[in-house]
Chains A and B, each alone.
Chain A
Amino acid sequence: MNKARITRVGAVAAATALAIGGLTACSTGGDNGGGDGKVTITWWHNATSDPLKGIWEDVAKEFEKDHPNVTVKVEGYQNEELQRTLIPNALRSGSGVDLFQAWGGGEIKDQVAAGYVQDISDSAKGTIDAIGPVVSGWQVDGKTYGLPFQFGIEGFWYNKDLFAQAGIENPPTTLDELNDAVDKLKAAGITPIAVGAGDKWPAAHYWYNFALKSCSPDVLKKAQSQLDFSDPCFVKAGELLQEFIATNPFQEGFLATSAQQGAGSSAGMLATGKAAMELMGHWNPGVMGGILKDDTGQADATPPSFLGWFNFPGIPGTDGDPTAALGGGDGFACATWAPKECVELLEYIDSESVQKRFAESGAGIPVLPAAQSAVTDPNLQQVLKGLQAASYVQLWLDTAYGTTVGGAMNDGIVALFGGQGSPEDIVKGMQDAAATL
């Protein structure tokens, strides 16, 4: 008698369960099996606009053509969303992505420790050798887990016209010359340096560079592998930064300035001639071009023509290498469960033909030395020259030390910019954060 109702209730419950099941089923994917040898590679990258987005789509199509059994699902996501949410979630669930963006340093170390990343030391040996030392950021304990496709360094982007106006003939090569340039610019009524301290990391990079130029490469390597910051050069870096901040080289209200958003950002100030210098990575001309197009009505996204570039100056009398450079890159890694074709695709991305196309597009500096001659963009050529002149290249310190120590380090540095805390507090914050790992 009541069977019908019970059945109905059961049906409702079953339907609900199905609906819920369907919701969770959405997150699974990555169907790599199949008896007919057909495989799918899901590839996530951070290029949301051309030229890079188009290049990756072409690469995926070409790879499919050469490997008829492979389907490549290529997807571009916004950088932070990809790095902080999508990739960790997919890795945790053990599916959904095969080839994913890898920024190197502490992050890939954590992913390797959790067993999510394929060791490609042997399977991609030829490419690893061809690329050379910049792969080190994607290596953990001597094994390679990912390959960068681009690597650039940072330095001061400066306005040649404003430098001439202030009577500065040559770009500074020592800290004293930099201080001298700051004085001359101020005397000429020009804001010497724009810094986007509101975003924290642009301010933190000053400390990174002071540490890079105060600490010997051996100390830096040990700091990266063991998170050991006991060497006095790290405190020295903070003291040098404190002295530098005391000369008031930055724009008014720099603590709230963002780095890349609009004409009021630090990149916007340099692009529109409101400041003479900005310490920033190789991507800066592209950012400035975008701001000029969106905010000042320039017809296209051409970077300003007055740009010059010089590496952060050396500091005589310290252990640091004056030609050392601070940089970072973008790479890809294959998940543990990815099909073997994933490594082939990864190698194809770093093949000479793709790397040359990447170089020609002006999107960045390729990692393959054989492709670097194809860089035609004059701004990138300046950075490339600096990279080739550098005897030692250190990965961005926040990337190298991982997000936990990196975050504590950046907050400590920004506090110093805000007139709070001390050089010792920065190092103590880093050590405390390392102790919570």
Chain B
Amino acid sequence: MSTSTITAGSAVSTAGPARPRPRKRRFDIRSFAMVWGFAAPALIVYVTFVIVPVGLAAVYSFFNWNGLGPLERFIGIDNYVRALSDPTFLKAIGNNLAIVLLSLLIQGPVAIGVALLLNRPLRGRTLIRTLIFVPYVLSEVVAALAFKLILQPSGPFDALLASVGLGGLKQLWLADQNVVFWTLFFVLSWKYLGFAILLMLAGLQGVPDELFEAAAIDGASWWQIQRHITIPLLGPTIRIWAFLSMIGSLQLFDMVWVLTGGGPVNATVTMATYMMQYGFQRGQLGFGSAVAVILFLISLVFALLYQRHVLRRDFEGAVGRGA
């Protein structure tokens, strides 16, 4: 093996300059082998565990299948029709979209505001930054279980309200069908705000100090600086955060599943909990697959439209700078 390698190596060095063309072709084979050699393991794993299951789900979605036995009962698009005409699934889509919107409208501005504050010289800044990031580091299941205990009737949260004289605001946080959605959104914000703030803070580090100095010399106020310099320059970060937030909101599962199970009476059902409930708990894997495909398509359309219309500018900018 070693001799053949040497032969190959010498062939390249001696014959190379005299015959450029074969050399180039040989170089191509080499790089081709290298690219595929390195990429193949990852590619095979990706295809086996991502592409193939997605394809299989698409196939299952056209069958009435309970997970046992062979796929025999082809029913066309019946599963899709059934899902899209089920008021519970439509409610799930509505809940997902509501969380997307609320996250963008509420979490975004709050995160930017807190990041701007934390970007100023402040005593104990590192400690505050760490504390804000702690909820994001917690496992989602742990956080949900903790909130489930805190928010139970006459639980610690109600006690806290009463101790500051707000006992009248007491609600059945997780049991009242009109309140539970907002409770869920609050817990989600608590959990993910830290991540948004961290991203914004990182984005703020990329804004050159010279711009602030120049603006200050020109007599701009702190507000004017933030409004006309910081936030526009924070644009790429905000757009990436919004993208992550939307996709996360669409696929929301763990927190809801542990905190409310999608209930009570479907008040907090999301597309993913609906899929879990019908696909696995009710043992209708064909129907569950159809729901999964719908969820996948909605996420894909969101992602593609967003990349095409919003993120394109950032990507082009990055490529331009790189070249």
Interface residues of A (CB under 8 A from B): 1-9, 12-13, 16-17, 19-20, 84-85, 88, 91-92, 110-111, 113-116, 197-200, 251-258, 262, 264, 402-404, 406-408, 411, 414-415, 417-418, 420, 433, 436-437
Contacts and interface: CB of A to CB of B under 8 A. Distances in A.
Determine which residue in B1, B176, B264 has the highest number of CB atoms from chain A within 10 A of its CB, and name it: B264
Determine which residue in B44, B175, B261, B284 has the highest number of CB atoms from chain A within 10 A of its CB, and name it: B175
B265 A414 contact: yes
Interface string B50-68: 0000000000000010111
B245 interface: no
B68 A88 contact: yes
Interface in B284-302: 284, 287
B66 A110 contact: yes
Top 8 nearest A-B pairs by Cβ distance?
A114-B69, A253-B175, A255-B264, A418-B265, A256-B175, A407-B282, A256-B174, A114-B68
Interface of B: 1, 4-5, 7-8, 11, 26, 29-30, 33, 36-37, 40-41, 44-45, 48, 64, 66-69, 82, 148-149, 152-155, 172, 174-177, 180, 260-261, 263-266, 277-278, 280-284, 287
Contacts of A415: 265-266
B4 A3 contact: yes
Given A88-B67, A256-B152, A9 B36 contact: yes
7 contacts: A9-B36, A114-B69, A252-B172, A264-B155, A403-B283, A404-B283, A406-B282
Contact of B281 (A84, A257, A437): A84
Contacts, number: 127
Nearest to B66: A110
A4 B5 contact: yes
A407 B261 CA distance: 14
A12 B40 contact: yes
**Interface majority SS (helix, strand, loop, mixed), chain A:** helix
B212 to A, nearest CB: 49
A1 B11 contact: yes
A84 B69 CA distance: 15
B20 to A, nearest CB: 17
Nearest to B183: A256
B177 A407 contact: no
B4 A16 contact: no
Contact of A256 (B26, B82, B260): B260
B67 A264 contact: no
A286 to B, nearest CB: 22
Contacts of A113: 68-69
Contacts of A85: 280
A256 B8 contact: no
Given A198-B264, A414-B265, A437-B64, 9 more contacts: A4-B5, A5-B33, A20-B44, A85-B280, A92-B67, A116-B68, A198-B263, A256-B260, A407-B282
A404 to B, nearest CB: 5
B155 A5 contact: no
B284 A197 contact: no
B4 A407 contact: no
A110 to B, nearest CB: 5
B282 A110 contact: no
Contact of A110 (B44, B148, B283): B283
Contact of A436 (B45, B64, B266): B64
A110 B65 CA distance: 11
Contacts of A4: 1, 4-5, 8
A1 B260 CA distance: 65
A321 to B, nearest CB: 30
Contacts of B263: 198, 200, 255-256, 414
Given A5-B30, A264-B155, A414-B264, A436 B284 contact: yes
A397 to B, nearest CB: 15
B174 A418 contact: no
B260 A92 contact: no
A12 to B, nearest CB: 5
